[in-house]
Structures are given as structure tokens and as C-alpha cells.
């Protein structure tokens, strides 16, 4: 027997007995065994993987990085322990966490925020198997399912009502597969001052539009308040934000996934061809007016539509009526760096017209060649010169819809896509990079004394300080972990006469780095900051709302509530067993009480979800109605029904040992 004591006289396979010495000799030293039959038997025994108790590590952020993530991780670890899974927690800093998950893919499971998207098109890059080995938010889970790929491809190709149905089918399949477990969408609250600047909430404060189109408040006009204003209000005005994230003070590379969160500062530094015009209160889009050169027309209600001079294209996503040319509006996007775009009859190619005489912050002209270069560069930051392709870890999914970009002249180009118009137009929202700055960064990264992974271009690792874009703000100064200061770019097209797009009001915009929400609130209340630019952590919200309701906030200080499209989730590394097994993932999802998490971790300031999309895209079949409609919690009020949970795992093909530990084959 395998467990018998060594016996020098019993080294054969006869009689069904194999000594340890024979096994060790065959497996460890390769010594000769008397018969080939015995060798086969030894190999059959020693080459079998054991079924062993499952032990996993939950990677997440510490409390000073994301208080809610570590609390969720602890709740999830406790739930897993309850059902016989040994779970430990590994905390990493913001950049180390994202590097482990998005770049090195070094994790079992993780808990954190997903950037999500206002449009479900992001699911293609998030889950398609073609991205399973790429870096960034392109399928960090390593999830691969050919049948699910077909759902993703269908919703990417469909338009109109067909797309709505295709998205529903995709979301319902996702709920079955659970490649990650969507937990909840946090409520977003910020604190703002209204005495120095007004108009907060007209644009979403997580986007560039939240900091454009503001009005000077009475304190600035009278010379009161900080920011270097004199009594006439003629001196430079500084918009001050309390920003609870030090990473922008260290790195301003728009392609560095481990240093980016919502990308607000990047959007202010870099223009895109189009913008998603979100307000603070909804996802329907705010009305952005166009300039006179784009044939603006106004109805009696003062709302504007944009198009070509004959006002028939409608191809820019405005609310104008469809034309016979087949250029009906297909999205909520609004022109930005692009003056307009128009689809061909086949709905495959956009002709994009750039605003003329735009320049980068270093005074170099911005032309159609920079746009063409950007799409090629984001698809492969090595430009084909490295041993393997080096796609950008951000924006990859949007750019992947682009088949070709052809420059017609300095201000016109044709963009051909292999997706629906709605998805294709999302490619217009990537930052436009100056070719003369980024082309030299296509070379392979080189760090003396260190091995650099294949497919790592200099563009992916540079800190990009100072950044050179074409956005409404340009870089001024920074001090690591203290501040990032931007200044108004006077040559930006929003400053031109006749252009009524929201522009820059203050002379400078300073992001003051703050460690926590409580101290950020104090900055606003004491007139050291005008807004908490990052959403406040949930632990401060009850007191803040209580003060607001009781009228106890300082004068000219208000709470700003905004819709959110990011969500908290539990991510599985599907490259490893048992996380590659959808039955296992579903069982895990059913021992997580999302409603309890919302109350215990977020103090009620979040909403549990079953589908990782905005409410307008959530099908009725997946709407939250007291429980998850696909993977309902096996228990009540946070207490797991252990017998039901064990039965679920056993029904899924797993087993328990005598000590109640879940056993899996790794």
C-alpha cells in the first residue's frame, strides 16, 4: 500500500503493492524499474493532482486607498470562510493594486471599483476572449467563452432597437456566467462652494464638463476669497479642488492604467473628437451648443441642433430628424475637437471635419495626421517595431472598432469601423495625442539592470510630465503628493468668438492632494477649496447630509449629488482553477449578500446591482427587486444558510472534507 513502510524486498508491482522507495526512485531519481508495467503504474499514481482544501487570496486596497473596498473584502472573506474556503486578504496601494490586476494579472480574486461606462459597449473589451491576455481593463479576468463572445459581437454590431435586445441577451448571459460579481453602484456626493464659482452640476464633476462653463461668483467679483483676486476681480482666479488621490501628481500619462481612475484631469489636458455630455443628475446628456460655423439652428425653446450647412446630416448624434441619406442620430455624443462628422449610406465610414487652426500646448498645429496617428498608436504603441504588439491598456476597446483612418487633408479624415454606428462613434472619445511627442515613445522601454516584459513600449511607462495636449487647460506645475496645477489654454477653440461650448472660467485649476474625505470636506468648509473633486467616502455622507438638512453647513457651501457609472465588484482570475468554473463562480455569488453590503459598508449610500450597466440599459429581467434575480443570496440579512450553501457547492460538483473544508483540484 502507498502508506506502508519501506520494504527493501518488496520493490516490485506484483501483488498490487508499491513501496515508497520505488515511487521515489521512479519519480525523483528516474532510476530503472524492473518492468515497464511497473513504470506505467508508478507514473499513473504519482502524476495525479490531488484534490485539496481551497485556499485563496483576496487582493484589494487598504483603507487609505479605498475604505469601501477593504471593508467589502473583509465581508467577502468572512462569507467564504463560513462556507469552508480559506480566504486571506492582501492589501496593495492604488498603483500596486492596479498593476497586479491589470498589468501582471497576479491575483486569485480581487475586490475594487470597475470604471464601467455610460454605454454597454465597454463590455466587449471587458470580457471578449480576444483580450484575455492583454493588459489593462481589457478582460483582466482572463475570461474566455466562445459562446459569450457571440453575444458581445452581436451587441457590438446591432443598432437601434436591435441593439437594445442584443444588450439584454448579453447581460442575461453575463448574469449566468458571472465572470465577475457586480456588487453595487455607489452614490456620489461632493461638497462645493458657490460663492467663488457657480454652475456646479451642469456638467458631471467626474468629466471635463464639470469644470467648464462655470460662472464667476460674487466673492470673486468683489475680490473676496482666496486665489489672488484684487478688489476689481481682475487678478488671476484659481479654482481649487480637494483631490483624494495622489497619483495625478506623480504621473500624467493617459495610457498608464495603474495611475488613472476616472480620467478627469486627462480630459482637461487632452481633447477628444467628441464628448459624452453628462450632467450631474442623469445620463440623458446635457445640451451643448455649437458655434455659428456649424450651422446652428435654434427652436423656440432655445435648444440647438448641429449639422452641415444644409442641416441634413444629423450624423453627430444630435436630436435632428433622420435624413434620407441614412445619417440619422445614433448616439448622445456631441462634437468637440471635431466640428462635425457624417456617415456614408452604408453606415461604415464617418467623414470627420476637424475645427481649424487648433494647436497643441507647445504651439504645434493639430492636424488630421495627429488624429490618424492616435488611432494607430493606441492599437499598437510600438507601431509594429517591437517583437510583439503593445496595445494601449486604456481606450483599446474603443479603438478596436476602427478598421482604418484615412487622411483627406489637414482638417478632414475618413474613419471606417466594423461595428454599429453607436459603437463606432465611441471611438471619437479617445484623447488625441500629438504625433511629434508620442511617436518617439514607440521604442521598447529600457531600464538598465532590469528585465522588461515583451510588448512594453516607452509610451506605456513614461510619466508624461509635463504633458502636452490640446485641451482647455495646460500643465503649469506640480509637487508630488501635494498638488497639480493647470492653467487656462487661451488658444483653445472654446475661447473663440462665436463658439458657445462651455469654456474655461478660472485662470488656474489646482488639484490639492488630500489624504481623506474628512479633511477634504474641511478644506471646502474653511474656504481652502471650492470642490471635493473625488466622490466622498460613504462614512462621511450621513453627517454631511444631516448638516445640510439642519442648515448647519457654512454659508455658500452645498452638497452636490451625481449619478455614477462605476461599480464595485468581485473579480475572478479565470486563468486559474477553480475560478475558471462558472458553477464555482455562481456559488460564490450566492453567498454574497449585496443588500447587506450596501447597508454595512456604504451606510445605505449605494444600490445593489445584478447587471453592471446604468439603469437605463438594465433589462427588467435583471432589475434589483429585493434580491439578485439570477443568483439570489442563500441566507437572510447577511447570515448565510450554511447547509444551503454547502449543498449548492456540492451540487456544482465540489466536495467537502471531514473538517468542513471545500475541496478542489488546483
pLDDT reported for residue 320: 33
What gap in Å lies between CA 37 and CA 42, rounded to an integer? 9
> Region 21-46: what's the mean pLDDT?
46
For residue 281, pLDDT over 70 is answered with: no
CA distances from 495 to 211, 365, 472 (A): 15, 17, 9
pLDDT digits (tens, 9 = 90+) for 437-495: 999 999 999 877 667 788 899 999 999 999 999 999 999 999 999 999 999 999 999 99
Measured in degrees and rounded to the nearest 5, phi and psi for residue 376 equal -65, -40
For residue 430, pLDDT over 80 is answered with: yes
For residue 13, pLDDT over 70 is answered with: no
Label residue 21 by pLDDT band (50, 70, 90).
Answer: very low
Show contacts of 525-529: CB within 8 Å, 24+ apart.
Answer: 525/191, 525/553, 525/554, 525/557, 527/193, 527/225, 527/226, 528/226, 528/240, 528/242, 529/193, 529/240, 529/241, 529/242
| Cβ atoms of residues 369 and 407 within 8 Å | yes
pLDDT digits (tens, 9 = 90+) for 581-614: 999 999 999 999 999 999 999 999 999 999 999 9
- CATH number among 3.30.1490.190, 3.40.630.10, 1.10.275.10, 3.90.76.10, domain 271-442: 3.90.76.10
CATH 3.40.190.10 at 188-267+471-562, yes or no: yes
Q: Where are the domains of the chain?
A: 14-48, 52-186+566-665, 188-267+471-562, 271-442
Label residue 234 by pLDDT band (50, 70, 90).
Answer: low
Lowest mean pLDDT among 305-319, 320-334, 378-392, 454-468: 305-319
pLDDT digits (tens, 9 = 90+) for 86-122: 999 999 999 999 999 999 999 999 999 999 999 999 9
Question: How many whole angstroms from its chain centre is CA 561?
Answer: 21
What gap in Å lies between CA 297 and CA 314, rounded to an integer? 12
What gap in Å lies between CA 140 and CA 143, rounded to an integer? 8
Averaging pLDDT over each range in 2-16, 144-158, 309-323, which range is the top one? Answer: 144-158
> Region 537-545: what's the mean pLDDT?
96
The pTM assigned to this predicted structure is 0.85
Average pLDDT, the chain: 87
Label residue 36 by pLDDT band (50, 70, 90).
Answer: low
> Region 197-204: what's the mean pLDDT?
94
| Cβ atoms of residues 483 and 513 within 8 Å | yes
Averaging pLDDT over each range in 37-46, 324-333, 545-554, which range is the top one? Answer: 545-554
Q: Which CATH architecture has domain 52-186+566-665?
A: Roll (3.10)
Nearest to 429 by CA among 640, 254, 601: 254
| Cβ atoms of residues 155 and 166 within 8 Å | yes
Amino acid at each position: 500500500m502507498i502508506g506502508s513502510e519501506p520494504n527493501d524486498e518488496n520493490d516490485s508491482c506484483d501483488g498490487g503493492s508499491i513501496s515508497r522507495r520505488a515511487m521515489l526512485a521512479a519519480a525523483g531519481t528516474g532510476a530503472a524499474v524492473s518492468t515497464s508495467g511497473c513504470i506505467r503504474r508508478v507514473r499513473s499514481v504519482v502524476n495525479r493532482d490531488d484534490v485539496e482544501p481551497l485556499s485563496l487570496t483576496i487582493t484589494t486596497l487598504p483603507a487609505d486607498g479605498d475604505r469601501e473596498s477593504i471593508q467589502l473584502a473583509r465581508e467577502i472573506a468572512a462569507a467564504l470562510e463560513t462556507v469552508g474556503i480559506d480566504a486571506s486578504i492582501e492589501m496593495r496601494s492604488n498603483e500596486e493594486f492596479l498593476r497586479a490586476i491589470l498589468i501582471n494579472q497576479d491575483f486569485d480574486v480581487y475586490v475594487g471599483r470597475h470604471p464601467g461606462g455610460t454605454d454597454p459597449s465597454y463590455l466587449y473589451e471587458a470580457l471578449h476572449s480576444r483580450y484575455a491576455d492583454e493588459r489593462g481593463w481589457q478582460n483582466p479576468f482572463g475570461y474566455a467563452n466562445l459562446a459569450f463572445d457571440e453575444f458581445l459581437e452581436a451587441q457590438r454590431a446591432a443598432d437601434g432597437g436591435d441593439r437594445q435586445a442584443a444588450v439584454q441577451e448579453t447581460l442575461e448571459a453575463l448574469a449566468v456566467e458571472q465572470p465577475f460579481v457586480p456588487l453595487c453602484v455607489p452614490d456620489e456626493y461632493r461638497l462645493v462652494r458657490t460663492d467663488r464659482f457657480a454652475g456646479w452640476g451642469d456638467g458631471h464633476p467626474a468629466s471635463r464638463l464639470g469644470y467648464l462653463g462655470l460662472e464667476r461668483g460674487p466673492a470673486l467679483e468683489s475680490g473676496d476669497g482666496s486665489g489672488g483676486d484684487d478688489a476689481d476681480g481682475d487678478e488671476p482666479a484659481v479654482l481649487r479642488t480637494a483631490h483624494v488621490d495622489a497619483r495625478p501628481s506623480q504621473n500624467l500619462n493617459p495610457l498608464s492604467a495603474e495611475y488613472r481612475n476616472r480620467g478627469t484631469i486627462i480630459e482637461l489636458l487632452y481633447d477628444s473628437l467628441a464628448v459624452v455630455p453628462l450632467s450631474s443628475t442623469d445620463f440623458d446628456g446635457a445640451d451643448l451648443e455649437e458655434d455659428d460655423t456649424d450651422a446652428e439652428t435654434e427652436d423656440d425653446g432655445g435648444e440647438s441642433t448641429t449639422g452641415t450647412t444644409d442641416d441634413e446630416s444629423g450624423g453627430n448624434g444630435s436630436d435632428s430628424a433622420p435624413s434620407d441619406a441614412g445619417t440619422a442620430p445614433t448616439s448622445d455624443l456631441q462634437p468637440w475637437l471635431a466640428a462635425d462628422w457624417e456617415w456614408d449610406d452604408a453606415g461604415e465610414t464617418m467623414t470627420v471635419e476637424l475645427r481649424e487652426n487648433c494647436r497643441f500646448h507647445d504651439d504645434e498645429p493639430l492636424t488630421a495626421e495627429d488624429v490618424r496617428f492616435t488611432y494607430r498608436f493606441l492599437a499598437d504603441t510600438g507601431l509594429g517595431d517591437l517583437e510583439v504588439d503593445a496595445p494601449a491598456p486604456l481606450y483599446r476597446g474603443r479603438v478596436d472598432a476602427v478598421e482604418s483612418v484615412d487622411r483627406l487633408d489637414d482638417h478632414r479624415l475618413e474613419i471606417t469601423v466594423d461595428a454599429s454606428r453607436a459603437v463606432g462613434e465611441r471611438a471619437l472619445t479617445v484623447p488625441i495625442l500629438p504625433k511629434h511627442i508620442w511617436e518617439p515613445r514607440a521604442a521598447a522601454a529600457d531600464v538598465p539592470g532590469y528585465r522588461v516584459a515583451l510588448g512594453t513600449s516607452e509610451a506605456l511607462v513614461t510619466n508624461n510630465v509635463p504633458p502636452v495636449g490640446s485641451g482647455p487647460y495646460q500643465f503649469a506645475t506640480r509637487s508630488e503628493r501635494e498638488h497639480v496645477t493647470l492653467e487656462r489654454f487661451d488658444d483653445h477653440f472654446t475661447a473663440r468668438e462665436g463658439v458657445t461650448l462651455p469654456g474655461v472660467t478660472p485662470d488656474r485649476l489646482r488639484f490639492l492632494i488630500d489624504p481623506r474625505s474628512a479633511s477634504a470636506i474641511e478644506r471646502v468648509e474653511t474656504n481652502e477649496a471650492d470642490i471635493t473633486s473625488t466622490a466622498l467616502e460613504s462614512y462621511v455622507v450621513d453627517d454631511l447630509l444631516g448638516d445640510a438638512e439642519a442648515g448647519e453647513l457654512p454659508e455658500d457651501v452645498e452638497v452636490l449629488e451625481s449619478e455614477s457609472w462605476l461599480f464595485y465588484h468581485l473579480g475572478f482570475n479565470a486563468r486559474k482553477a477553480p475560478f475558471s468554473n462558472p458553477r464555482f463562480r455562481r456559488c460564490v455569488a450566492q453567498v454574497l449578500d449585496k443588500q447587506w453590503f450596501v447597508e454595512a459598508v456604504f451606510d445605505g449610500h449605494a444600490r445593489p446591482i445584478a447587471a453592471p450597466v446604468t439603469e437605463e440599459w438594465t433589462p427588467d429581467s435583471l432589475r434589483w427587486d429585493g434580491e439578485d434575480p439570477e443568483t439570489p443570496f442563500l441566507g437572510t440579512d447577511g447570515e448565510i444558510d450554511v447547509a444551503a450553501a454547502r449543498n449548492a457547492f456540492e451540487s456544482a460538483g465540489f466536495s467537502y472534507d471531514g473538517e468542513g473544508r471545500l475541496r478542489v483540484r488546483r
